[in-house]
């Protein structure tokens, strides 16, 4: 990805003698067949659907905004 490429370039330029190839712990920990078998379902994310996650975040940020408004109003 772009982020990994930027990280690699910064490491090579700032820390001379950087690694020739960027490696991650996840890729080093699993065999290639694990990644081939993995299927990504964007609608079902770790046991929760996207709609459920969206509702949770809405409630979470609403609660944060209410707390901020209460602090500003009542100190």
Query: Which pLDDT score is estimated for 71?
Result: 92
What is the three-class DSSP state of 45?
Answer: strand
pLDDT category of residue 54 using cuts at 50, 70 and 90: confident
Range of the domain at 6: 2-74
pTM: 0.35
Q: What sign does the CA torsion over 23, 28, 32, 33 have?
A: negative
Residue 3, helix vs strand vs coil? helix
Total number of domains in the chain: 1
Give, as one character, the DSSP assignment of residue 23.
Answer: -
The pLDDT of residue 52 is: 74
Q: What is the DSSP letter of 48?
A: E
CB 53 within 8 A of CB 45: yes
pLDDT digits (tens, 9 = 90+) for 13-29: 666 655 566 667 767 67
User: In whole angstroms, what is the distance from residue 58 CA to residue 51 CA?
Assistant: 11
């Amino acid at each position: 990805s772009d982020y990994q490429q930027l990280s690699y370039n910064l490491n090579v330029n700032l820390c001379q003698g950087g690694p020739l190839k960027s490696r991650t712990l996840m890729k080093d920990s699993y065999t290639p067949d694990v990644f081939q078998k993995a299927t990504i379902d964007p609608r079902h994310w770790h046991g929760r659907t996207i709609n459920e996650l969206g509702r949770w975040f809405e409630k979470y940020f609403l609660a944060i905004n209410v707390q901020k408004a209460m602090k500003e109003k009542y100190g």
